[in-house]
């Protein structure tokens, strides 16, 4: 039966056209934005995961920056320690020279005095961003190393610590007091026996026995400085490795988020072409359905 009041064919064709247009709009949005999940209404679960992981990735980016600052601090301290080792090695050589009969110890002391001042200069200038790891009071220096989200979704920041020890066998050249270098503490400032500290030592009137004691003290200082340099080198390597890991982890998170929300452009392109064809067919079908009512007029001619 054909009715002029109700055109079921036209209604069905119109419903199909609406559905095709909706799908076509969605596909066009996917193509233009590059996302298949751009907002929560697209897929609430995937959108939530992607939003959280993007936030975590920003935190990892900050961690990478912090690791760069930490690496600079450690490298500065290592450079200073390495330079100080060379200077103390020169002092050791001067002491050996002073053991020779007839050597003017006062002249040798003048050279040693210059080297001692150089050690102080190295310690004072080995600062990065206001932190000095070779001249400081006992305490802990920290480098941000990672951002962690555990299985219960609790977040935390982990650090890599370096403990300063201002003793004679510690890991700083001099101690620190009130923001100023304290030349009576640290590897070079701590007095060890009758010959005094490496920094304050004056061999002008030393006997052969005292010079030998001074050599022993210098050797002990070199051992402590070498140990400190090795620790700084190991810490630098660890920071570099952690920086590489954070960078790789960030890339992995980006890739994982992309799998959840990025549009497959090959599929979207194929779907777009198919929907455009369906749209044309639906329009044609609706046109045919609408024209059927006009055909009734021929029955009354």
164 bridge partner residues: 139
CATH number of the structural domain spanning residue 90: 1.20.1330.10
Cα dist. 293→97, 115, 150, 249, 290 in Å? 119, 108, 67, 65, 6
Q: Which domain-ending residue is among 195, 213, 242?
A: 242
Q: Do 30 and 117 belong together in one domain? A: no
Q: Do 69 and 108 belong together in one domain? A: yes
Q: Is residue 200 part of a domain?
A: yes
Q: Do 284 and 234 belong together in one domain? A: no
Q: Do 89 and 237 belong together in one domain? A: yes
Q: Is residue 191 part of a domain?
A: yes
Q: Do 236 and 270 belong together in one domain? A: no
Q: Is residue 51 part of a domain?
A: no
* C-alpha 117 chain-centroid distance: 37
pLDDT at site 266: 75
Q: Do 79 and 194 belong together in one domain? A: yes
pLDDT at site 131: 92
Are 122 and 83 in contact, with CB atoms under 8 Å apart? yes
Q: Do 296 and 170 belong together in one domain? A: no
Domain residues for the domain of 289 are 8-34+263-300
Q: Do 100 and 169 belong together in one domain? A: yes
Q: Do 218 and 83 belong together in one domain? A: yes
Per-residue tens of pLDDT for the chain, all 301 residues: 556 566 677 778 778 878 878 877 777 777 777 788 888 888 899 999 999 999 999 999 999 999 999 999 999 999 999 999 999 999 999 999 999 888 999 999 999 999 999 999 999 999 998 899 999 999 999 999 999 988 888 999 999 999 999 999 999 999 998 888 999 999 999 998 888 999 999 999 999 999 999 999 999 999 999 999 999 999 999 999 999 999 999 999 999 998 888 877 777 777 878 878 888 887 887 777 777 666 666 666 6
Q: Is residue 255 part of a domain?
A: no
Exposed/middle/buried for residue 119 (C-beta within 10 Å: 0-12, 13-18, 19+): buried
Instruction: Give the Cα separation of 190 and 174 in Å (integer).
Output: 8
pLDDT at site 202: 95
Q: Do 165 and 215 belong together in one domain? A: yes
Question: At which residue do the structure tokens 């046109």 appear?
Answer: 287
Q: Is residue 60 part of a domain?
A: no
Q: Do 220 and 102 belong together in one domain? A: yes
Q: Is residue 198 part of a domain?
A: yes
Q: Is residue 136 part of a domain?
A: yes
Number of separate domains in the chain: 2
Q: Is residue 290 part of a domain?
A: yes
Are 153 and 177 in contact, with CB atoms under 8 Å apart? no
Q: Do 179 and 287 belong together in one domain? A: no
């Amino acid at each position: 039966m054909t009715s002029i009041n109700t055109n079921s064919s036209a209604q069905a064709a119109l419903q199909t056209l609406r559905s095709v247009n909706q799908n076509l709009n969605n596909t066009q949005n996917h193509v233009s934005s590059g996302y298949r999940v751009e907002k929560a209404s697209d897929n609430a679960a995937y959108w939530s995961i992607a939003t959280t992981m993007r936030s975590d990735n920003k935190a990892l980016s900050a961690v990478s920056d912090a690791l760069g600052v930490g690496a600079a601090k450690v490298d500065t301290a290592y450079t200073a320690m390495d330079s100080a080792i060379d200077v103390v090695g020169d002092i050791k050589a001067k002491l050996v020279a002073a053991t020779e009969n007839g050597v003017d110890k006062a002249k040798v002391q003048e050279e040693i005095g210059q080297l001692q001042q150089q050690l102080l200069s190295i310690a004072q200038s080995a600062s990065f961003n206001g932190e000095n790891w070779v001249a400081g009071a006992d305490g802990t220096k920290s480098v941000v190393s990672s951002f962690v989200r555990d299985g219960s979704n609790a977040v935390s920041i982990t650090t890599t610590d370096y403990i300063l020890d201002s003793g004679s066998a510690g890991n700083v050249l001099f101690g620190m007091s009130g923001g100023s270098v304290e030349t009576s503490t640290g590897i070079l400032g701590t007095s060890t026996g009758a010959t005094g500290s490496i920094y304050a030592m004056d061999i002008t009137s030393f006997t052969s026995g005292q010079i030998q004691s001074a050599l022993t003290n210098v050797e002990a200082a070199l051992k402590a400085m070498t140990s400190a340099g090795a620790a700084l080198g190991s810490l630098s390597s660890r920071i570099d490795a952690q920086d590489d890991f954070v960078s790789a982890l960030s890339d992995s998170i980006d890739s994982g988020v992309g799998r959840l929300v990025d549009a497959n452009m090959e599929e979207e392109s194929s779907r777009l072409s198919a929907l455009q064809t369906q749209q044309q067919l639906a329009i044609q079908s609706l046109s045919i359905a609408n024209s059927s009512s006009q055909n009734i007029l021929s029955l009354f001619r």
